[in-house]
């Protein structure tokens, strides 16, 4: 987790806002599948 956080914080200032979900440790597809379970 600490390596992911370090890498993400380094990328964040130059990362496009419309691609911010790509920085999440979970894939957008996985997050969508979780919301569909409810």
Q: What is the pLDDT of residues 1-38, one digit of tens each?
A: 899 899 999 999 999 999 988 888 887 777 778 777 76
Position 24 scores a pLDDT of: 85
Rg of the chain taking only CA atoms, in angstroms = 12
Neighbours of 15 (CB within 10 A): 13
Contact between residue 11 and residue 23 where contact means Cβ atoms under 8 Å apart:
yes
Residue 34 to residue 29: CA distance in whole angstroms: 9
Position 38 scores a pLDDT of: 60
Write out the two tokens for 35.
């919301």
Position 18 scores a pLDDT of: 93
């Amino acid at each position: 987790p600490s390596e992911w956080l370090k890498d993400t914080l380094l990328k964040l200032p130059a990362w496009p806002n419309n691609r911010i979900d790509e920085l999440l440790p979970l894939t957008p597809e996985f997050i969508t599948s979780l919301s569909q379970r409810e």
